[in-house]
Amino acid sequence: MLDKPSKSKGLFIGLLLAAYFFGTVIFGTKVALGPEDRLLEMTLLIPAFLLLALYVYILFGLLTMNYKSTDGALVVSWAHKRYTIPWSKITQIQKVTGRLNTISYLGVSWPGYMAGTYDLKGVGPTKIFATDLQKLVV
């Protein structure tokens, strides 16, 4: 069984954030600096485009995220990665209620999207790939 979570809210907000941040940085640099400031412009634009490429990869992860239930395991797909969790390794399923108390180790989150490694209070280091945090199962 394949489950594809609803991605519209996360994608919409992600695109708004990208348009605002990268539009401001890239367009603002072009407008604020003249032709004599080419070196400064490149110094600002090269990291901006590298961050934009990383951001596109994160959005790609959102678009390709799905959960697959097989006979032997639960498979979580995100971007080009596959996380396989054998059913025998699952000892407890707990529905999280209320606000998540997390600390991000290496993750991204905005309304409608959360992906990466987080420290979940009461659970420990956890990889979370979710779009609806109100229906999160740990």
- List pLDDT tens digits, range 57-67: 999 999 999 99
Query: Mean of the per-residue pLDDT values for the chain?
Result: 91
Between helices 38-64 and 8-32, what is the axis angle to 10°?
170
Give the mean pLDDT of 42-49: 95
Q: How far apart are CA 43 and CA 3, in angstroms?
A: 43
pLDDT the model gives residue 106: 93
Confidence of residue 84 (pLDDT cuts 50, 70, 90): very high
Contacts of 138 (CB under 8 A, 6+ apart): 93, 94, 96, 120, 123, 126
Question: What CA–CA distances, in Å, run from 38 to 23, 26, 42, 121?
Answer: 19, 13, 6, 48
Q: How far apart are CA 26 and CA 111, in angstroms?
A: 25
Q: Tell me the pLDDT tens digit for each residue of 17-28.
A: 999 999 999 999
Q: Tell me the pLDDT tens digit for each residue of 98-116.
A: 777 889 999 999 999 999 9
